[in-house]
């Protein structure tokens, strides 16, 4: 919501920062609390669209649909997801960013600024080193960088670095 308010006030950098911070919480939005999760994902999707981040909106809507697949009995929320999807289909696009990161990629973010190797990160996340490397490469691409150091710097610029 803070991102949408910032956009309304014309403060796009602050809106992008707020959206990036909110995106880090997406792994917590599951079908365990479906109504809250879908409502929050809808707000994230609306913020993405207001910042012309169609890729981020698509990821958020995909996650909302996953929740709705398991819990379809959420009143008007499925209709709101469909309406937002229609808005997205008519939008002009936009570039990828932090909001377009997958849940798995978001789990990787706090470990990037550490001294840990990809193999050590993989061990902590119970993944293969190849999976971690693939996810890291995807994060770099979505952030528009080409190295771990640049990704860390970009995350710090967005207020997400540690």
pLDDT tens digit sequence for 40-57: 999 988 888 887 788 888
Q: Does pLDDT of 68 surpass 70?
A: yes
- Return mean pLDDT, the chain: 84
Question: Quick one: which of 39, 32, 55 has its CA closest to 1?
Answer: 39
pLDDT tens digit sequence for 110-157: 899 999 999 999 999 999 999 999 999 998 888 888 999 998 888 877
Per-residue confidence (pLDDT) for residue 42, from 0 to 100: 92
Per-residue pLDDT, averaged over 59-71, amounts to 90
Q: Does residue 56 sit in helix, strand or coil? A: helix
Distances (CA, A) of 62 to 44, 48, 59, 85, 132: 12, 13, 5, 10, 22
Per-residue confidence (pLDDT) for residue 81, from 0 to 100: 93
Model pTM score: 0.61
């Amino acid at each position: 919501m803070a991102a949408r308010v910032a956009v309304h006030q014309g403060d796009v950098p602050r809106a992008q920062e707020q959206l990036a911070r909110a995106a880090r919480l997406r792994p917590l939005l599951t079908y365990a609390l479906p109504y809250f999760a879908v409502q929050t994902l809808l707000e994230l999707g609306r913020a993405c669209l207001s910042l012309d981040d169609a890729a981020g909106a698509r990821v958020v809507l995909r996650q909302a649909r996953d929740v709705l697949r398991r819990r379809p009995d959420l009143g008007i929320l499925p209709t709101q997801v469909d309406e937002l999807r229609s808005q997205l289909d008519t939008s002009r696009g936009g570039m990828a960013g932090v909001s377009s990161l997958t849940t798995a990629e978001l789990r990787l973010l706090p470990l990037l600024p550490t001294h840990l190797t990809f193999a050590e990160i993989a061990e902590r996340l119970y993944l293969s080193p190849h999976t971690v490397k693939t996810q890291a490469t995807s994060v770099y691409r979505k952030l528009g960088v080409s190295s771990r150091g640049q990704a860390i710097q970009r995350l710090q610029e967005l207020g997400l670095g540690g």
